[in-house]
Amino acid sequence: MSTEILSGNEAIARGAFEAGVRVASAYPGTPSTEILENIIKYPSINASWAPNEKVALEVAIGASFGGGRAIACMKHVGVNVAADPLFTLSYTGVGGGLVLVAADDPEMHSSQNEQDSRNYAKFAKIPMLEPADSQECKEFTRLAFELSEQFDTPVMIRSCTRISHGKSIVELGEPVKGLPEPKLVKNPAKLVMLPGNARVRHPLVEERTVRLSEYGDSWSINRADYRSAAMGIICTGVTYQYVREALPEAATLKLGMVHPLPKNLIREFAAKVERLFVVEELDPFIEEQVSAMGIAVTGKEVISLCGELSPGRIREAFARAGIITKTIDAQQPAQEKLPPRPPNMCPGCPHRGVFHLLSRANAYVTGDIGCYTLGFMPPLNAMDTCVCMGASISTASGIVRALPREEQQRVVAVIGDSTFLHTGVNSLMEMAYNQAPATVIILDNRITAMTGRQENPASGYTLTGIEAPEVNIPALCRTLGIRHVRVVDPYDLEATRSVLAEEMARPEPSVVVTNRPCCLIKGEGRFDRSPVLEVDSDACTGCRACLRIGCPAIEWLPALDGPKGKASIDPQLCTGCTLCQQLCKFDAIHRAGGTK
Amino acid sequence: MNKPVTNILLVGVGGQGILLASEILAEAFMLAGFDVKKSEIHGMSQRGGSVVSHVRFGTEVFSPVVPEGEGDILFGFELLETYRCLSLLKPGARVVVNDFRIPPPAVLLGQETYPEGLAEKINARFSNFQLIDGLKLAAEAGDPRAANTVLLGAVAQYLDIADGVWQKALEKMVPKKALPVNLKAFQLGRSL
Ligand code: SF4
Ligand code: SF4
C-alpha cells in the first residue's frame, strides 16, 4: 500500500474515487474549491462546476436518483444557497449514495461570516461526519457513501479550513467493486414530494435519526480513550487534534459522527470521568444537546464562541478558567507598530481602474463577493456594502427605492461574471422587472478569480479545460429586460468614465460590462502581458496622482530627488496595463525603453 | 510537550513560493519516515497578503498548526513578515531569513515607512540567526526565482535528513524543467 501527503480536500477527492462516485458537482468557494479540482484526476468521475451551490446539489441529486453515487461540494455559506433542495432531499432519501461536503471557515480567513454547518445537519435531520485529518477525510468519505445507502439518507461531511487545507499522510486504497450500475427506476411515492407523499416520509425521517443515533453508539468512528479520568473532553474534527496536543492527559470522546449524537456512548463516557467538557469550534452544538440530556458539562463558559481554536488558545482558555496551570509563557509580539499587509488586487487587475473612477465619482457602491471586494481597501475605498453572492444588484435595487432622485443616481452595483451567473441573474431580472434606476457594473474578467481562477459558464471552458459555449452576458442582460447595456474596456479610463457618467445619470436600470480578463489567466491569448512601464524621474513632479490607483507595482520613494519624493515602478510586477500612465498629468510614465 | 515534535514555520508574502517550499519539506519528512502535518491559509492571502505555513514532524503529530510560542525553526522569506511572526517561536529558536523586503501597501503609498534594522532586531532576540542573500545565490544557481530553494537548503543544514531524501523530495515536487536549477540552489544554500 502506498502513502502520500494529501490535503484534506485532496483526500476527500481520493475518498470519492475509492467509493466509486460517478458524478461530482460544485461551485468554487474557499476552503472547499480543491476537492473538485482534484476529483478530475480520476476520469471515472463526471465532474463539473455548477453556476451555484443549489444547482450543484441538484445535479448530485439527479445522479443519485439515477442510481449512481454522487458528491456535491461547497463552502459553508454555499450551504445557505443549497438549503432549499437539501431539506427535501432529507425526505426523499437517495438512490445511489449522496454526500454533501461543507467546508466551514472558522476565523473567516476568506469568508463573510463564520456559520457552523453542524446546525444544518440537525436542521435538515441528516447525519454529519467530521474528519480530523486527511486520512480520515478519505476514510469518512468512503464510509459516508455506505451510510447514505444503508440509511437511505444524504450524508454531510463537515470540513474546516485547517482540515481542507492542512496536509497529512494518507494510505491509498483501491476503489470499491461491485456497485450496481445506474438505471432509471420509477418510484414517485418516494421521490415526488407533494404534501401527501411528504407526510408519509416525515415520520420515516424522524425514525431514521433515532436509528442513526443508536448506530453511532457502537460505530468505531466514535471513539472513547480513557487516559486520566480527572478530565473528559468531547471533541470532533480538527479540535480533537488540538485537544490531544494541548491537554495530552485528558480522556477524550472523539466523535466522527457529529449528528445525530451517540447518546448512550456520551452517557457512558460522562459517567467514567470526573469532570466533562466539550471543546468545539463556533457554536455550542454538542454542549447544548449534552446539557439537554441532563448531564453536567462545561463548554462555551471556557471556550470562545468566535473564531478558530488552536492548541494554544485551548490551553490559554483552560488556564484562564483555572482548570489547568499554565505551562508555556507566550512570547512577546513586536512592540512597535508594524505596517499591516492586507491582500490587494494584483498589478494590472482590470477592476482597479473602475474602482478608481467610482471613488472619484463619489458613487455609493453596493458590492459583492470576489476579488473586486478588495476595492473596499484604501486608496480606492470604493465599496459601501457587501452581503453575499448576488446581493449587490438586489441591494442597489432596494436602496434606490428609498432614496430621493439625486441620490439614486449615485447608486452603482458591482458584481463579477461568476457571481452574476451564480445568483446575480435573478437579482438583475428583479431590477429590470421593477425598473429600479440603478447602474450595474458587471466586472467580467472571464474567470472565477478569487478562489484561484476556476472556469464558469461565461468563460468558455469547463472544469477539465474542455471548450464550452460561452454565456453572452450583454445579450443575457438585454433578454432580462435591461435596455441599456454597454461594454467598455476598463483599461481605457476616459472611455469608461464617460460611459459610467452617462449610465449613472440615466433614470432607468442600466448595465455596464467590462471586458478585460483577469491578469492571472495565462495562455490561450486570454491575458497578454504588455511591455512594462517606467517612471521618468526627471519628468515626475511628485504629485502622487499615480498612487491613487493603489497598484502594488508602484512605490513611493520619499527620499528620491529632494523633499517631495518620486514614484517608481517595479518592473518585476508591472503588467503594462497603463492605468498609472493615464493618471499622470505630466507625461512622466512611459513604456520601458523610452517609447511612449 | 513530552512528544518530540519539531515545529517549522515558513513566513513571507503571498506569491513568494512558500507553499511549494513547505510541500518539499513535508515530503522530505515523510520520506525520512516521520509523521508529518502541515497547514497554511490560502484564498485571500494569494493576493499579496501575509502567509504563514506550518510544518510539523515527529513520531506522532496531532495539530496541523504550531502552538504559539513553540516554533523551533523559522524560515523567513521576507524581513517584515519574519519580524511580525517572532512570537510564534520558543526562546532559542533558530531563524533563517532571506535578506529581502517587499513593501506593504501603506509603505508603497508613502504613508508609512518600512521599519529599519529588522535583521539586527531579530538577531537581538534570537542568537541562532542566519541572514541569507537568497536572490544572489539563486541567480548564481541560474534563476532568481529559486530563492526559496536556497533557503530550504540553508535550513536543511539543521535537519538530520539524508541528502538522498532531499533529492527525492525535490524530484517529486519541482517541475522537471526547473529541477537542475533547484538542485543547485539547494546545494548552495546547504553549503552556506
Ligand atoms: S486575481 Fe485577477 S481579478 Fe483578482 S485581483 Fe488579481 S487580476 Fe484582479
Ligand atoms: S502599468 Fe502602472 S498601474 Fe499598470 S501594472 Fe504597471 S505600474 Fe501598475
By three-state DSSP, how is residue B46 classified? helix
Count H helices and E strands in chain A, helices first: 21, 23
Q: Contact at 8 Å (CB) between A59 and A72? A: yes
* B contacts of A554 (beta carbons < 8 Å): 108
* A contacts of B165 (beta carbons < 8 Å): none
Among A100-109, A316-325, A335-344, which stretch is predicted with the lowest mean pLDDT? A335-344
Q: What are the pLDDT digits (tens) for A480-525?
A: 999 999 999 999 999 999 999 999 999 999 999 999 999 988 765 6
How far out from the chain centre does Cα A157 lie? 16
Which of A32, A137, A245, A568 to mutate: most B Cβ within 10 Å?
A245
ipTM metric:
0.93
pLDDT value at position B1? 41
User: What is the Cβ-side half-sphere exposure of residue A579, based on CA atoms within 13 angstroms?
Assistant: 29
Q: Contact at 8 Å (CB) between A235 and A255? A: yes
In single-letter form, the type of residue at position A227 comes to R
- Strand intervals (E) in A95-152: 98-104, 128-129
* B contacts of A450 (beta carbons < 8 Å): 43-44
Q: What are the pLDDT digits (tens) for B108-141?
A: 998 999 999 999 999 999 999 999 999 999 999 9
Q: CA B189 to CA B100: how far, in whole Å? A: 16
Residue with cell 504629485: A543
Grid coordinates belonging to A508: 432607468
Selection from A235, A319, A320 nearest residue A277 by Cα: A235
Q: CA A57 to CA A60: how far, in whole Å? A: 5
In which band, very low, low, confident or very high, does the pLDDT at A437 lie, cut at 50, 70 and 90? Answer: very high
Question: How big is chain A by its Cα radius of gyration, in Å?
Answer: 27
Grid coordinates belonging to B62: 496531532
A596 pLDDT above the threshold of 90: no
User: Does the C-beta of A569 come closer than 6 Å to ligand 2?
Assistant: yes
Q: Contact at 8 Å (CB) between A452 and B14? A: no
Whole-structure pTM value:
0.95
Q: Which atom of ligand 2 is nearest to the CA of A578?
A: 1
Rounded to the nearest angstrom, the distance between the alpha carbon of A210 and the centre of ligand 2 is 62
In which band, very low, low, confident or very high, does the pLDDT at B144 lie, cut at 50, 70 and 90? Answer: confident
- H-run or E-run covering A258: strand A257-259
Share of chain A above pLDDT 90, in %: 91
- Residues near A157 by Cβ (< 8 Å), separated by ≥ 6? A12, A99, A100, A101, A102, A128, A129, A130, A131, A137, A140, A141, A144
Pairwise CB contact (< 8 Å): B44 & A343: yes
A543 pLDDT above the threshold of 70: yes
Selection from A475, A559, A572, A479 nearest residue A533 by Cα: A572
Q: Is the preceding peptide bond at A28 cis, omega within 30 degrees of 0?
A: no
Pairwise CB contact (< 8 Å): A109 & B63: no
Order of all β-strands in the sheet with A155-160: A46-49, A23-26, A70-75, A98-104, A155-160, A128-129, A257-259
Residue with cell 483555572: A322
Grid coordinates belonging to B173: 515536487
Residue with cell 515527529: B58
Q: Is the preceding peptide bond at A85 cis, omega within 30 degrees of 0?
A: no
Q: What is the 3-state secondary structure (H, E, C) of B65-110?
A: CCCCCCEEEEEECCHHHHHHCHHHEEEEEEEEEECCCCCCHHHHCC
- H-run or E-run covering A85: helix A76-92
Q: CA B46 to CA B24: how far, in whole Å? A: 19
Q: Measure in Å the smallest separation between the Cα of B190 and chain A Cα atoms.
A: 25
Residue B4 CB neighbour total at 10 angstroms: 9
pLDDT value at position A562? 67
Q: CA A128 to CA A154: how far, in whole Å? A: 9
Which of A34, A164, A167, A344 to mutate: most B Cβ within 10 Å?
A167
pLDDT value at position A595? 52
Q: What are the pLDDT digits (tens) for A226-235?
A: 999 999 999 9
